[in-house]
Amino acid sequence: MKPELKGGIAAISQAGRDKGRPYVVLYELDADFVMVCDGGIRTMDRPKKKRRKHLLPTRHEMPDFASRLNGKTLRDQEIRSFLERFTNLTPTDLA
């Protein structure tokens, strides 16, 4: 069973020109879409709208994500350092 796509979960893009790029899910928009960022190209100020079916969730979650997002203390640099471990992974590495 795949992990749920919720705020703070690391996910790998499976489709589009950003295929293979790791993201952190910021929040859910509706049943089909989530907003994601990577701390680099897609910063917290400019998150990307992505379909759920185009993301492969991992089992990794940022610690204290919800409280830090609501308290506005989460920074792009922290997201980049969290996602560093996922940059060279393939989908088979995550299974």
Q: Each residue's pLDDT tens digit in the chain (95 positions)?
A: 456 788 888 999 998 898 889 999 998 998 899 999 998 899 988 999 999 999 999 888 888 887 777 777 888 888 888 888 877 655 555 55
Buried b (16+ CB within 10 A) or exposed e, 55-64: bbbbebbbee
pLDDT in the model for residue 1: 42
Closest CA to 39 of 75, 87, 63, 88: 75
Q: What pLDDT does residue 88 have?
A: 66
State residue 6's pLDDT score. Answer: 83
The per-residue pLDDT for 70 is 77
Angle at 70 between CA 26 and CA 80, to 5 degrees: 45
